[in-house]
Structures are given as C-alpha cells and as structure tokens.
Amino acid sequence: MTAMTTGNTSRADANRRRILDVALAELLRDPDASMDQIARAAGVVRRTVYGHFPSREALIATLVDEAVEAVEAVHTAALDGVVDPAEAVARSVLAIWDIADRYRLLTALAQRTVTMQGIRERLAPLRRIAVAHLRNGLEQGVFVSPLPAPALAYVQEQTVFALMEAVNDGLLPAEEAGRSAAVTMLTSAGVPATRAAGLVAELTA
C-alpha cells in the first residue's frame, strides 16, 4: 500500500468517524434530521455522507450497532468477578443504563428504521448472559418468579425499553432512571423491594 493510499484511507476513516459522531448529535437534537443537515453539520458534502452510508436508514443502523457494542463492553466490565446473581443483575443494569441513557433517544428513533426486532437481534449476546444469571439466581432461590429464565429475561428487556421511553416522555427523571431501572429489574425477579433498594443504594453510593 502506497503512502498516498494510506493517507486516503486515513482521511476516509476520519470522515466516517466524524459523520457518525455528528449524526448522533444531530439526530438526538432533531430526530428528523436529514442527510443534508448531517452533511452540513459535519462540514462535508452530501456525496461524502452517501459514500459511507447509502441511506439514512443505513446510517442509523450503524449508530445502533455502535451503541450495542458500547453496551456490551461496559456490561462485560461490570460483571467481572461478580458471583452473586442479584448483584450481577443490579450491576448489569446500572452499567448499561450509563451508556443507554446517551442512546435512549436514538433507540426511539431506530424503532422507525431498524425495527425493534432488529434491535433485539443485536442484543442477543447480552440476552444470553442475562438468561444465565437469572437461571442461576432462580436455581439458588435468590430470585423467585413463575417465569422461566428466558421469559423473565425477555420481560426485563422490554421493561428497560419502556423505562427509556418513560424518560423520553418526561415521566421519569433521567437522573433517577438508572437506579429505578436496577431496583425494578430486581423486584421483577422476586427480590424483596427493601433488599433491592438497599443493594442498588450500596452499589451507587
């Protein structure tokens, strides 16, 4: 590869990164932002944006993919060395929410283009980990639920999305949402409310 080719590749990568960063900011500010708006905000011509992303839907799908990657990374780090199932669930939700809060408006936007099924498919690796922790907790008696672990994980996942929508709609203060989500996940798994609240308070102290 020549130096010129390497330079062109680096510029293309830098342009792509800038377009993604600016697109996220613009779409969070204005969910109806067009590709033209994003191009102007990124300081590039419209053709450059389309050179990286053939459609607005493709651009949003890429942003969703990056959001899922970020969530997976913090989720893995938060669970390192954690054995107690209840603590694992609480740490998982708290860690995910820190990232998800940045992307919660994007999630609502993505439902118009990526579809919820597409988002759920992207979250499959996280769901498998959640199922394992819930199954472990049910077997140990830490959790109590009439639902099997896969169904309970599905309900909890949908609850997280619902809580994100509640924040978007102004029904739940953003600064309280992470703690509320963690307590909600624990109580939905049968953990007594006082214990759930105490554990989350301890982890967020």
3-state SS, the chain, equals CCHHHHHHHHHHHHHHHHHHHHHHHHHHHCCCCCHHHHHHHHCCCHHHHHHHCCCHHHHHHHHHHHHHHHHHHHHHHHCCCCCCHHHHHHHHHHHHHHHHHHHHHHHHHHHHHCCHHHHHHHCHHHHHHHHHHHHHHHHHCCCCCCCCHHHHHHHHHHHHHHHHHHHHCCCCCHHHHHHHHHHHHHHHCCCCHHHHHHHHHHHHC
> Tell me: the pLDDT tens digits for 2-18?
544 455 677 778 888 99
pLDDT of residue 2: 55
pLDDT of residue 116: 63
Q: How many CB atoms lie within 10 A of CB 21?
A: 13
> Tell me: the pLDDT tens digits for 116-152?
667 778 778 888 888 999 999 999 999 999 999 999 9
Positions in the chain whose pLDDT score sits under 50: 3-5
pLDDT of residue 114: 62
What is the model's pTM? 0.76
